Structure 1
Amino acid sequence: MGWGDLLGRWPVWRQATGADRTGRGAAARSAGTERLRPRVADADRVVKSVCPYCAVGCGQNVYVRDGRVVQIEGDPDSPISRGRLCPKGSASLQLTTGSARESGVLYRRPYGTEWERLDLDTAMDMIADRVIRARRDGWQWTDEDGNRVRRTLGFASLGGATLDNEENYLFKKLFTALGAIQIENQARI
């Protein structure tokens, strides 16, 4: 192999002597770059979505293969974020498929030091019983001035920023129907 062949492999030489003076095209390509493939190349479909973390509403492209989410990236067609995501939004894949994501119900008894697993039906019954009891025990028909208020101060709702607008809307409707007046969302705080 001669010097001409060696120099021809060197990207700086190709940039200086070739037509690609900016070094963003053929001059920058190597055998290694030619073998690279986009990590979303074998996705079956792309689903448009919105980042769940805050109220900005950055657009996301969710890449799906065989019914599973394989990658989440910023949507360049989004007029809000133009394909950019903050560090939390960039980590959305971990929220959906991360190995550290808890997928079962954990419960720690009062004064307990360890978490225990519960089945979903048991946990839902416990929650329903507590909501009914708190609503009944904290119900107010009238305030101290005799005004009719029909409310409960027995519980409150604090929605999470990982919920989308529709989910937070449904929580607001549910807690309002239950008579709660302390209803807030973490994304607004």
Structure 2
Amino acid sequence: MDLKGLLQSWPVYRQLTGDDKLGRGKAAQSHRSLTLTPRTAEADRVAHSVCPFCAVGCAQKVYVKDEKVVQIEGNPDSPISRGRLCPKGSASKQLVTGPQRLTKVRYRAPYATEWQDLDLETAMGMVADRVLDAREKGWQQFDSDRHTLRRTMGLASLGGATLDNEENYLIKKLFTALGALQIENQARI
């Protein structure tokens, strides 16, 4: 490379001799940065989602390539966040792609020291059995004056702020159908 080519590759030289005196445009760009393309440009499709971290409900665009998440960004069409995400929302790609993410149902029996892997059907059956058992043990058909109650004191629900309205609605319906009285949400407390 000759001296002129060497100087042209130096950003400070381009800044001093070119039109970009502040060094915020072409003068500051390297040859490599001129050839880069964003990960979002190579995505096969974009799925719309909501950030799972809090109750604000910031909209997200999830960019997918070869059925793998390659980028998650804020959705500028959202009236809530207008395309912005907080630091936790910006890092939500790690929830999907992080190596620490559990992909199996893990179970540790009472007093056991080791975890064991369960298939989803077995785990769901165990949860259903325990819910029905707690409902039955805490069931109150009548009070002391023989007024009909038809409720259980063996179940309660405390929803989290990361749940959206639809999830909270379904949880409320489920626990009401089970006869539970203590149904609350963290966002309301």
User: CA offset at residue 43 of structure 1?
Assistant: 0.2
| 1:20–1:143 distance in 2 versus 1, CA, 3 Å | farther
Task: Write the distance in 2 (CA, Å) between the matches of 1:49 and 1:68.
Answer: 15
Equivalence map 1:9-48=2 (5 Å): 9-48=9-48
1:83 is the counterpart of 2:69? no
Alignment correspondent of 1:169: 169
Number of matched pairs: 188
Aligned partners of 1:104, 1:23: CA distance in 2, in Å? Answer: 51
Q: In 2, Cα distance between the equivalents of 1:5 and 1:104?
A: 57
2:123 is aligned with what amino acid? Answer: A
Root mean square deviation, CA, Å: 2.3
Moved more, 86-95 or 9-18: 9-18
Q: Distance in 1 between matches of 2:22 and 2:32?
A: 20
Separation in 1, partners of 2:17, 2:188: 56
Tell me which moved more, 130-139 or 167-176.
167-176
After TM superposition, the structure 1 stretch with the greater mean CA deviation from structure 2, 159-168 or 33-42, is 159-168
TM-score (norm 2): 0.85
Shift in CA distance, 139/11, structure 1 to aligned 2, threshold 3 Å: same
Instruction: Name the structure 2 match of 1:66.
Output: 66
Distance 1:45 1:155 in 2: 42
5+ residue gaps, structure 2: none
Residue type of the partner of 1:157? S
Query: Distance in 2 between the 1:78 and 1:15 partners?
Result: 39
1:89-135, Cα deviation, whole Å (9 max, x unpaired) = 11211222322111211111111111111122222221111111111
**CA spacing shift, 1:142–1:164, aligned 2, 3 Å:** same
